[in-house]
Structure 1
Amino acid sequence: MTKEELIASFKYSVLQHARKNKNITYTCRTFNVSRTIYYKWLKRFIKLGYLGLQDKEKAKPQMPNQIKPDKEKIILGYIIEYPTHGPRRIANELNQQDITISEAGVYNVLRRRKLNHRVDRLFYAQDKSDNPVVTERYLREVAKRRPARICSYYPGYLFCQDTFYIGTIKGLGRIYQQAGIDAYASFGFAKVYSDKTAVRAIDLLKTKVLPIYRQFNIPLDRILTDNGKEYTTHWPNGKHGYERFLKENRIRHTKIKPGTPQSKW
């Protein structure tokens, strides 16, 4: 479910709650939403249906000085031949070929195409070239971009849990998602909360994860998390509610180093 779909689903839940309980004040207090916001959502729902609850996409502004398509094609063709050249060099070389274009114009094209970094241009040139040359640098960069793999040998062997910031909803505040996935079965769980605390991290396990594992008589051996405060304490010899919960349920806790999503064996 995308962020937009999640927000629309939340708005619809608020409207459903008010309709079922026939008490708008109670609903607004329960979901921490102002009456003004509630009526705004209701008005859009009546007018447009469920689609009216989805956030409107902001129109992309039309840039009056945007490079014309034919010149953009020339720039993209140039970087296939010379991917290491930057905006200034590209502009100078093209101007010598009587193709008038500024350094800023070249940069804007590269940025819009997400090619403003040399390594991205190298990948682009490699993919678009008729006779690509596999260089050592290209192989190194491919290795860096290769997604990390986490080994798991059976269901319940390793469960990966993390916290994600979804966004902010007017009248409600910040929204977070506790999510987890069985590394062997690729079976996932998720639940939305208004904050990121140990209580929320435990709640996902208590209400969603462990009941499913127990239903199928699958023991959960180990959980992998980062070093977020919702999962562990940063104080030496400190005690933490999440880790205590895992210990009570005989689940090992493994923590990763920042920026390195790999488990320890």
Structure 2
Amino acid sequence: MGQSSTARQASPRDAASKVAQQRLSVLELARELGNVAEACRQRGMDRTSFYEWKRRSQTQGFDGLKDLPPIHKSHPQTTAPEVVDRIKELALAHPAYGCNRHEAMLALEGVRVSSITIQKILNESGLGTKVERWLALEAQNAETAIEITPEQAAFLEKLNPCFRERHVESSAPGELLSADTFFVGSLKGVGKVYLHAVVDTFGSYAFGFLHVSKQPEAAVAVLHNDVLPFYRHLDLPVKAVLTDNGREFCGTDRHPYELYLDLNGIEHRRTKVKTPKTNGFVERFNGTVLDEFFRVKMRETFYETVEALQADLDAWLVHYNTERPHLGYRNQGRRPVETVMSFVSQEG
């Protein structure tokens, strides 16, 4: 009983030889008939397979008609750990580069890794996209004090406008205010209208005053009527104001704006020539108020006076300061008023 059962069982080698013999019989039948199509029809083989087995029979003999061993699912050659570390290092050092460029840089170091493999490694490491590399850089910068290259800084500034404000440091509300003037538009019967804006670099709390000129008196008005009363009410000193080199902020020895700051014991700091981006806080506010307020309201409403536009701007500033969450590194999702009042409560 046991012997007959064993006899019925064929070894894998015998099974492979049997399949190879069947394929050989198709090749021999085609030679006898002189017709490949008919031989394939009789034996149930497609012509593509026939010619492949014929080629393998001619090059490898009978063994070529046997099935090839299965291919392992995992590739036997894995990337060395030190190469993986170097790929991640390059991705953070050059976050804007693509995988083809990283492949070329590795080749210069004598390391051969395909761009496809590099992309796979970066995906597995959470660095597969530019945004992921940006987030990793910011996390790295937040955890440890590191020196970043100009290339890394430019990349972060492009993706995250808040990052350009990193150089403007203030430890308290009122310690450093950022001021600027920009052209809003023209009102029929009134003429050009300018916004005189002031933004606190500590929590992005903003003030705005509309006027038909860029004269120093208008730039002083927003400080005198809005800014200083706000900080006096909170019992917080205004220590410094950062501006560009516009004529409304500086000029002669007895310039009205500088005289006003001097009378109130406020330091006047100015941005470097040809580098207006150093006043990034107020630049970012200008872009926000332009997109979210002026372009919307001036399409919806026909303003005949600056006072009417100012009234709507005041209402929007309440929304901006007390209702709208901010994603800057000071606020981190909080509203500007929350950031200011949190400081006041801690000091109290």
Give the shorter-chain TM-score range.
Answer: 0.3 to 0.5
Q: Normalized against structure 1, the TM-score is what?
A: 0.45
Choose between structure 1 and 2: higher helix proportion. Answer: 2
Structure of larger gyration radius: 2
